Amino acid sequence: MRFFIWKCAKKAIATRERLFSRSCAPNPTCPLCDAPSETVMHCLFFCHHASATWGLSDSLHSLPPENSSFGEWFFNLQDTYSNTQVCRIVCCLWSIWTARNTFVFEEKAPTPASSVIVSGRDFLLIEEARKTPSSSPLSRTTQSHSQPRGPRSNPLPPPIPFSRLMYCDGSFVSDSSLAAYGITIANAHGQVYDGKADSFLCSHPIQAEAFGLLNAILIAAHDTEPTCIRTDCQVLTLALRQDPSLWPWQCRATIARMVSVIHSAPWIKVEFVPRRLNSLADWVAGQARLNTLPVDWIVICNIIAPLL
Ligand SMILES: [Zn+2]
């Protein structure tokens, strides 16, 4: 949830306004209420579903001014609300966003009542984790609420415990056997500063995914910087933890190499992300397959920056 709040503050969640500005949506119109522009603030506070959810929830005293910035509003919350109340508000923001996404991706209409129930459930889970000392990621996240805050110039701490974050994806067309992978490399604040892409021939889509992931792992193994590599290929993330007899036969040698490299580079973590969160690497892979990107390190500032 901290990552989500950080993305909201950076206007980096995939609202229609953001997608439209990057030519990834036909218009900026709100998918729920047809408002002219689905901004972060519209989506989370002023869309009919969001405002009704806040109305039902007793977590927020009043909605923020419509033209305010999310980051500023969120930081100022801490002047008015206790840590527990802020946590409850964060849960509500998250449930509004997930309900909106359920509508967009699964066409299930959200109801404010269910969003309030979901946010209440999440809040209780976090409270429970906060009371129970453990090393779970959930408790690590919530512990930050009781820690002293830094200076105002940096109100949102880095959301991930890695100093480098990579996304990778493969692209494959069975007709031509033409394939490619795309890798984006970001710092701990999520800012993409580099990437890599390559095109090649293969015979199965998972080979393209595996080749991309192997290359990301090899990049991360060049130094000892703590790196999280994200892929939307769950078969591969599972395979890395499974017995070799269960590996997909199409890419066994590639997986064996990945396992070997990771074994000697314990600062690398590979995790699964849903495809919708991997859209930039997907785009890079697709462009590389079409030969519209250089088949070497990508100069992000020239090529990808307009899309970010
Ligand atoms: Zn709306």
Please tell me the predicted confidence (pLDDT) of residue 294: 54
Mean pLDDT of the chain: 81
Distance 32 CA to ligand 1 centre (A): 5
Residue 167 reports pLDDT greater than 80: yes
Distance 23 CA to ligand 1 centre (A): 20
* Confidence tier at 293 by pLDDT (50, 70, 90): low
Residue 257 reports pLDDT greater than 90: yes
Distance 103 CA to ligand 1 centre (A): 12
Residue 79 lies in a domain: yes
With left for phi above 0 and alpha for psi between -120 and 50, is residue 190 left, alpha or beta?
left
Residue 156 lies in a domain: no
Q: Are residues 67 and 96 in the same domain?
A: yes
Residue 13 reports pLDDT greater than 50: yes
Tokens of residue 106, six digits: 């699964």
Q: Which of 217, 263, 222 is nearest to 236 (CA)?
A: 217
Residue 53 lies in a domain: yes
Distance 40 CA to ligand 1 centre (A): 10
Q: Are residues 122 and 235 in the same domain?
A: no
Is 30 strand, coil or helix?
coil
Q: Are residues 63 and 196 in the same domain?
A: no
Distance 9 CA to ligand 1 centre (A): 19
pLDDT above 90 covers what percent of the chain? 32
More confident residue, 51 or 159: 51
Residue 58 lies in a domain: yes
Distance 277 CA to ligand 1 centre (A): 22
Q: Are residues 18 and 141 in the same domain?
A: yes
Can you give the residue range of the structural domain that contains 11? 2-146
In what side-by-side order are the strands of the sheet with 268-272?
Answer: 268-272, 227-231, 164-173, 178-187, 192-201, 297-298
B/e letters for 77-113, b = 16+ CB within 10 Å, e = fewer, are eeeebeeebbbbbbbbbbbbbbbbbeeeeeeeebebe
Please tell me the predicted confidence (pLDDT) of residue 125: 79
- CB-CB neighbours of 169 under 10 Å: 30
pLDDT tens digits, 169-185: 999 998 889 999 999 88
* Confidence tier at 252 by pLDDT (50, 70, 90): very high
Distance 34 CA to ligand 1 centre (A): 6
Residue 230 reports pLDDT greater than 50: yes
Q: Are residues 20 and 128 in the same domain?
A: yes
Question: Which protein residues have a CB closer than 5 Å to ligand 1 (ion)?
Answer: 30, 32-33, 35, 47
Please tell me the predicted confidence (pLDDT) of residue 28: 93
Kindly state the average pLDDT of the residues 247-268.
Answer: 92
Residue 151 lies in a domain: no
Q: Are residues 168 and 102 in the same domain?
A: no
Q: How far apart are CA 207 and CA 201, in angstroms?
A: 10
Distance 85 CA to ligand 1 centre (A): 25
Residue 155 lies in a domain: no
pTM of the model: 0.47
Residue 204 lies in a domain: yes
Distance 41 CA to ligand 1 centre (A): 10
Q: How many domains does the chain have?
A: 2
pLDDT tens digits, 115-126: 888 888 888 878
Q: How far apart are CA 116 and CA 121, in angstroms?
A: 9
Residue 143 reports pLDDT greater than 70: no
Please tell me the predicted confidence (pLDDT) of residue 47: 92
Q: Are residues 136 and 242 in the same domain?
A: no
Residue 64 reports pLDDT greater than 70: yes
Distance 25 CA to ligand 1 centre (A): 16
Distance 77 CA to ligand 1 centre (A): 23
Q: Of 88, 115, 146, which one is at a domain's C-terminal end?
A: 146
Distance 93 CA to ligand 1 centre (A): 14
Distance 47 CA to ligand 1 centre (A): 4
* Confidence tier at 132 by pLDDT (50, 70, 90): low
Please tell me the predicted confidence (pLDDT) of residue 160: 55
Q: Are residues 186 and 135 in the same domain?
A: no
Distance 60 CA to ligand 1 centre (A): 19
Q: Of 146, 178, 204, which one is at a domain's C-terminal end?
A: 146
Distance 212 CA to ligand 1 centre (A): 37
